[in-house]
């Protein structure tokens, strides 16, 4: 179909098709390949649109092109209503993007979730991230019924059972198991601090293969956490991606600190932003500095960039921090046939040229 | 141009959530900003006492479970189904007083440092969510200490302090409002019979 040479981690038969299964891999996705090859992975979070327009999703995904190995489709983060993660994944997988579908336990019970996992895997979603989800009080619809039928741990175990034992939670058999790479979230920056590394151990025991952390603005705290994680021997069984993101201003930082649950921003960070002339620029600089510190920590396999409403800076941040080391992640490219059409589109539409063979012969004769 | 303006006036700029928030201020009666679940329960003084005395309660429960198991012939004689109602009544009130029990019917207090996880607004049974405030309070209910921060403290004092690391199964909602004491006893009796059966 495509005449251009296939990129690394791409199915030559079509970008939207799953990759060849590799031994020791549980999914047929790109992200798992990158991580298992030992490369420093970059994932980013897509800001879900409040619209029913597919083009909105494609435009938001296009800014990450060639810079990230996976795109997180969030499931109503902060309990705010947006396009569903399943819907976003359906659109993005068609275009060949590697998606990480988040599932929050807040909105659906075990019947709905298991059905969604099958549907997602069938569409080619290679990575599923299991979350508890924020409480409904945090979002725009505080009157909603909080479900929380499963919690993140039992959700991980459920999906793992579906994948490895090929059965539902009830024990009913599946004819094809969902081949997914399982993810979870960690927050090393919230109490009880002693319990956090053990909780990661618990998540790994329940099936987590990679984890993405909450926003990291306190590197010493993360270092301390990672030390305990290494002592527990957890980095052999799990890829840890650290969440980072630029802060737009000191005011935003203060707002996030008091309104977004679970984000820890030390005073020094707020001070640094306040002192800067161009706060937005400084926020970006700060993010890059944090990435540079974080990538040196033993056991960190990648970063997860959450640049909420500043998605256009992701490429810049990744580039300037140099975490890719010259590697270029998969990028959506038009096939040779499409490129040809795009090149000639102007001519076809506006020059009023008839390209029917009969007319072409007639024109040639008259000349 | 005029079409554009008409569209502007017809589409309200405020969301439903804003309306709700605005109306809340005008209401004469304003409930505290807590979850419905929180409104149902008492003050948590007793609950916190139980967590502080987790080791003692662990000891008490071990004796109590033995006693219940000893009474197995009695439960069997009157029938577990018939014993359910009175036992449930006692269980609900005793555990309700001490732990703010929610009668999920599958008690895991021994693995959660004697802090009932069903009091968590997200009903997490496997550890704290990422939203715990820096002061150790709940994300949803700012005035309540996080159930799992307390659970971790309680578990540290207990003899079986690694039970908190076990991954718990999801709650079986069909067991709600049943007696956990009787279920555990029946299971233990069954197991005892099995092991003695294989030994003999």
pLDDT tens sequence across B112-154: 999 999 999 899 999 999 999 999 998 888 888 999 999 999 9
pLDDT at A349: 85
State mean pLDDT over B1-29.
60
By CB atoms closer than 10 A (0-12, 13-18, 19+), residue A275 is: exposed
Binned at pLDDT 50, 70 and 90, residue A116 comes out as: very high
Whether B7 has a pLDDT exceeding 50, the answer reads: no
Distance from CA of A247 to the nearest CA of B (A): 19
pLDDT at A343: 86
Q: Which has more pLDDT, A142 or B47?
A: B47
Q: Is the ipTM of this complex over 0.90?
A: no
Domain of residue B147 covers 36-199
Domain of residue A363 covers 339-367
List residues of B whose CB lies inside 8 A of any A CB: 15-17, 20, 33, 35, 121-134, 136, 139-140, 146, 148-149, 152-153, 165, 167-171, 173
Binned at pLDDT 50, 70 and 90, residue B196 comes out as: confident
Could you give the number of structural domains in chain B? 1
- Nearest in space to A261 (alpha carbons), one of A149, A148, A131: A131
With an 8 Å Cβ cutoff, is A106 touching chain B?
Answer: yes
Q: Which of A199, A203, A243, A259 is best to mutate for the B interface (most B CBs within 10 A)?
A: A199
pLDDT at B199: 62
pLDDT at B83: 93
First to last CA, chain A: 38
Are A281 and A356 found together in one domain? no
Binned at pLDDT 50, 70 and 90, residue B200 comes out as: low
Percent of chain A scored above 70 by pLDDT? Answer: 99
Q: Taking CA atoms, what residue in A is nearest to B34?
A: A137
Q: Is residue B6 part of a domain?
A: no
* Chain A partners within 8 Å of B146 (Cβ): 191
With an 8 Å Cβ cutoff, is A142 touching chain B?
Answer: yes
pLDDT at B38: 67
Contact B131 A190 (CB under 8 A): yes
Q: Which of A9-23, A183-197, B25-39, B46-60 has the lowest mean pLDDT?
A: B25-39
- Burial of A70-85, coded b for 16+ CB within 10 Å and e otherwise, reads bbbbbbbbbbebbbbb
- Nearest in space to A334 (alpha carbons), one of A13, A15, A89, A99: A15
Closest partner residue to B170 (CB to CB) among A139, A150, A202 is A150
Contact A262 B167 (CB under 8 A): no
Q: Is residue A177 part of a domain?
A: yes
- Nearest in space to A364 (alpha carbons), one of B7, A355, A200: A355
Q: In angstroms, rounded to a whole number, what is the distance separating the alpha carbons of residues A181 and A165?
A: 15
Q: Is residue B90 part of a domain?
A: yes
Are A318 and A357 found together in one domain? no
Q: Which of A51, A192, A259 is best to mutate for the B interface (most B CBs within 10 A)?
A: A192
Are A356 and A209 found together in one domain? no
Q: In angstroms, rounded to a whole number, what is the distance separating the alpha carbons of residues A311 and A61?
A: 9
State mean pLDDT over A67-75.
96
Q: Is residue B190 part of a domain?
A: yes
Q: Is residue B129 part of a domain?
A: yes
Closest partner residue to B134 (CB to CB) among A134, A191, A214 is A191
With an 8 Å Cβ cutoff, is A148 touching chain B?
Answer: yes
Which helix H or strand E contains A22, and what residues bound it? none
Q: Is residue B7 part of a domain?
A: no
Q: Is residue A254 part of a domain?
A: yes
Binned at pLDDT 50, 70 and 90, residue B32 comes out as: low
> How many CA atoms does the CB half-sphere of A133 hold within 13 Å?
29
pLDDT at A366: 83
pLDDT at A200: 96
State mean pLDDT over B25-39.
61
- Nearest in space to A78 (alpha carbons), one of A255, A273, A313: A255
Q: In angstroms, rounded to a whole number, what is the distance separating the alpha carbons of residues A194 and A225?
A: 9
Contact B169 A154 (CB under 8 A): yes
Binned at pLDDT 50, 70 and 90, residue B24 comes out as: low
Contact A55, A44 (CB under 8 A): no
Q: Is residue A17 part of a domain?
A: no
Whether A1 has a pLDDT exceeding 60, the answer reads: no
Could you give the number of structural domains in chain A? 2
Name the token pair of A110.
């075990």
Are A203 and A160 found together in one domain? yes
Contact A141 B152 (CB under 8 A): no
Are A45 and A155 found together in one domain? yes
Contact A142, B17 (CB under 8 A): yes
Q: Is residue B111 part of a domain?
A: yes
Are A39 and A163 found together in one domain? yes
With an 8 Å Cβ cutoff, is A201 touching chain B?
Answer: yes
Q: With both helix axes pointing from N to C terminus, report the angle between A219-231 and A279-294 in degrees, rounded to the nearest 10.
A: 20
Percent of chain B scored above 70 by pLDDT? Answer: 81
Q: Which has more pLDDT, A348 or A188?
A: A188
Q: Is residue A77 part of a domain?
A: yes
Contact A151 B125 (CB under 8 A): yes
CATH of the domain at A84: 3.20.20.220
Distance from CA of A231 to the nearest CA of B (A): 17
Q: Which of A5-9, A44-48, A98-102, B191-195 has the lowest mean pLDDT?
A: A5-9
pLDDT at A251: 93
| Total count of residues recorded for chain B | 200
State mean pLDDT over B157-186.
93
Q: Taking CA atoms, what residue in B is nearest to A147?
A: B122
- Per-residue model confidence as pLDDT tens digits over A330-362: 998 877 778 888 888 888 888 877 778 888 888
Q: Is residue A312 part of a domain?
A: yes
pLDDT at A8: 87
Q: Is residue B19 part of a domain?
A: no
Are A95 and A168 found together in one domain? yes
By CB atoms closer than 10 A (0-12, 13-18, 19+), residue B163 is: middle
State mean pLDDT over A51-66.
95
Are A132 and A262 found together in one domain? yes
With an 8 Å Cβ cutoff, is A237 touching chain B?
Answer: no
Are A327 and A347 found together in one domain? no
What is the residue-averaged pLDDT of chain A?
92
Q: Which has more pLDDT, B30 or A290?
A: A290
- Nearest in space to B138 (alpha carbons), one of B146, B147, B130: B146
- Per-residue model confidence as pLDDT tens digits over A47-57: 999 999 999 99
What string of DSSP letters covers A100-129? Answer: EEEEETTT--HHHHHHHHHHHHHHT--EEE
pLDDT at B8: 46
Name the token pair of B42.
């008492």
pLDDT at A362: 87
Are A322 and A272 found together in one domain? yes
Percent of chain A scored above 90 by pLDDT? Answer: 79
Q: Is residue A153 part of a domain?
A: yes
Whether A122 has a pLDDT exceeding 50, the answer reads: yes
Q: Is residue B182 part of a domain?
A: yes
């Amino acid at each position: 179909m495509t005449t251009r040479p296939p990129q690394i981690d791409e199915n030559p038969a079509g970008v939207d098709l799953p990759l060849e299964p590799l031994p020791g891999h549980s999914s047929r996705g790109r992200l798992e390949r990158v991580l298992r090859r030992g490369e420093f992975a970059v994932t980013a979070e897509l800001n879900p649109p409040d619209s029913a327009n597919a083009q909105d999703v494609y435009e938001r995904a296009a800014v990450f092109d060639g810079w990230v190995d996976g795109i997180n489709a969030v499931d109503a983060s902060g309990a705010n209503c947006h396009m569903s993660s399943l819907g976003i994944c359906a659109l993005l997988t068609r275009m060949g993007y590697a998606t990480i579908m988040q599932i929050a336990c807040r909105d659906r019970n075990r019947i709905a979730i298991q059905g969604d996992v099958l549907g997602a895997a069938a569409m080619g979603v290679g990575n599923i991230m299991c979350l508890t989800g924020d409480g409904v009080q945090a979002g725009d619809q505080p009157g909603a019924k909080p479900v929380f039928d499963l919690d993140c741990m039992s959700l991980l175990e459920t999906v793992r059972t579906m994948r490895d034992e090929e059965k539902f939670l009830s024990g009913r058999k599946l004819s094809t198991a969902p081949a997914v790479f399982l993810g979870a979230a960690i927050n090393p920056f919230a109490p009880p601090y002693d319990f956090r590394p053990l909780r990661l151990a618990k998540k790994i025991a329940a099936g987590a293969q990679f984890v993405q952390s909450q926003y990291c603005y306190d590197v010493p705290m993360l270092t301390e956490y990672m030390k305990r994680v290494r002592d527990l021997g957890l980095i052999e069984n799990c890829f840890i991606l650290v969440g980072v993101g630029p802060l737009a201003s000191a005011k935003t930082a203060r707002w996030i600190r008091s309104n977004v649950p679970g984000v820890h921003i030390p005073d020094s960070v707020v001070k640094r932003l306040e002192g800067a002339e161009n706060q937005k620029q400084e926020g970006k600089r700060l993010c890059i500095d944090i990435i540079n510190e974080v990538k040196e920590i033993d056991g960190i396999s990648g970063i997860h960039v959450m640049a909420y409403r500043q998605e256009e800076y992701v490429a810049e941040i990744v580039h300037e921090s140099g975490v890719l080391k010259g590697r270029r992640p998969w990028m959506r490219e038009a096939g040779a046939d499409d490129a040809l059409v795009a090149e000639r589109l102007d001519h076809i539409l506006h020059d009023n040229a008839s390209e029917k063979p009969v007319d072409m012969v007639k024109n040639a004769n008259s000349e | 141009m005029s079409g554009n303006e008409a569209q502007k006036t017809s589409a309200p700029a405020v969301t439903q959530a804003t309306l709700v928030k605005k109306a809340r201020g005008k209401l004469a009666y304003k409930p505290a900003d807590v979850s419905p679940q929180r409104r149902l329960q008492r003050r948590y003084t007793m609950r916190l006492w139980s967590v502080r005395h987790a080791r003692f309660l662990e000891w008490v429960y071990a004796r109590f479970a033995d006693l219940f198991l000893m009474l197995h012939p009695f439960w069997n004689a009157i029938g577990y189904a018939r014993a359910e109602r009175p036992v449930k009544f006692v269980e609900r009130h005793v555990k309700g007083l001490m732990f703010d029990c929610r009668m999920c019917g599958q008690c895991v207090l021994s693995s959660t440092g004697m802090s009932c996880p069903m009091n968590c607004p997200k009903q997490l049974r496997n550890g704290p969510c990422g939203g715990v405030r820096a002061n150790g309070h709940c994300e949803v209910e700012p005035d309540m200490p996080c159930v799992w921060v307390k659970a971790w403290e309680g578990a540290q004092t207990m003899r079986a302090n690694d039970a908190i690391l076990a991954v718990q199964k999801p709650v079986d909602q069909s067991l709600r409002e049943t007696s956990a004491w009787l279920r555990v006893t029946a299971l233990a009796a069954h197991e005892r019979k099995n092991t003695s059966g294989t030994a003999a």
